[in-house]
């Protein structure tokens, strides 16, 4: 677990391509001087654009992702491993199905879920959500999301995390940042599951 975030960070650094969130971060840096009164409007427009883009690719991508998760989970459970799933943002929509699949194959005492910045109100474990996560706050404008659990101590419009994470939403930049309380909370949740989950019974 101590090496988990470093491994993930290295994988991100080795990837020369940018995610859609990376491009949005770049765009928001350019418009960092936008007046405060326009902030909520821009936030809503960005979220609407993201949701629309995801809907275009959702059906095929979802089916392929679900099948891959099921194969990986089945293999892990067959090997007698306890399973801890950490889901971030839209990943929470997938982890709920992955959890249901897992407990259909084994006892729930062998499977644990930690929801980070959940985009879904449905939870199958404890969650961690920063109050200044602008992506989830944007979703809150048009629906229900879980309650905030932590506060980001420093806020700069379009520059959360000292300008490194415009939306205050990044898994690496915000939620596993040692300077923010979410990191120690995630660490505690993982260790708790490591200590309490039991090997699969069937």
Element (H, E) at 40: helix 39-78
Residue for token digits 């048009």?
Answer: 142
pLDDT score at 41 = 47
Rounded to two decimals, what is the model's pTM? 0.69
Burial readout 111-127 (b: 16 or more C-beta within 10 A, e: otherwise)? bbbbbbbbbbeebbbbb
Tens of pLDDT along 109-156?
A: 999 999 999 988 999 999 999 998 888 988 888 778 899 999 887 655
Assess whether pLDDT exceeds 80 at residue 60: no
Assess whether pLDDT exceeds 60 at residue 59: no
Tens of pLDDT along 171-184?
A: 988 898 888 889 99
Instruction: For residue 116, give the 3-state DSSP assignment.
Output: strand
* C-beta of residue 97 within 8 angstroms of C-beta of residue 66: yes
Both structure tokens of 2? 């101590």
In SS3 terms, 139-169 reads as HHHHCCCCCCCECCCCCCCCCCCCCCCCCCC
Assess whether pLDDT exceeds 50 at residue 35: no
Cα(70)–Cα(98) distance, integer angstroms: 7
Q: CA angle, corner 11, sides to 122 and 96, nearest 5?
A: 15
Both structure tokens of 156? 């700069």
Which DSSP category does 36 fall into? G
Residue for token digits 């960070």?
Answer: 9
Cα(161)–Cα(170) distance, integer angstroms: 10
Cα(79)–Cα(186) distance, integer angstroms: 26
């Amino acid at each position: 677990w101590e090496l988990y975030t470093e491994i993930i960070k290295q994988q991100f650094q080795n990837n020369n391509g940018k995610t859609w969130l990376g491009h949005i971060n770049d765009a928001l840096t350019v418009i960092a001087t936008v007046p405060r009164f326009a902030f909520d409007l821009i936030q809503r427009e960005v979220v609407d654009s993201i949701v629309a883009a995801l809907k275009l690719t959702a059906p095929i991508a979802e089916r392929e992702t679900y099948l891959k998760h099921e194969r990986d989970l089945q293999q892990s459970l067959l090997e007698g491993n306890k399973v801890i799933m950490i889901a971030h943002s839209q990943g929470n929509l997938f982890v709920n199905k992955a959890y249901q699949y897992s407990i259909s194959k084994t006892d729930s005492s062998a499977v644990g879920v930690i929801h980070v910045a959940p985009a879904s109100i449905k939870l199958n474990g404890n969650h961690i959500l920063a109050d200044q996560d602008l992506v989830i706050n944007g979703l809150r404008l048009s629906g229900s999301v879980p309650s905030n659990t932590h506060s980001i101590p420093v806020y700069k419009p379009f520059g959360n995390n000292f300008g490194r994470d415009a939306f205050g939403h990044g898994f690496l930049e915000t939620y596993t940042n040692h300077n923010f309380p979410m990191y120690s909370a995630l660490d505690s949740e993982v260790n708790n599951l490591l200590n309490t989950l039991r090997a699969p019974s069937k």
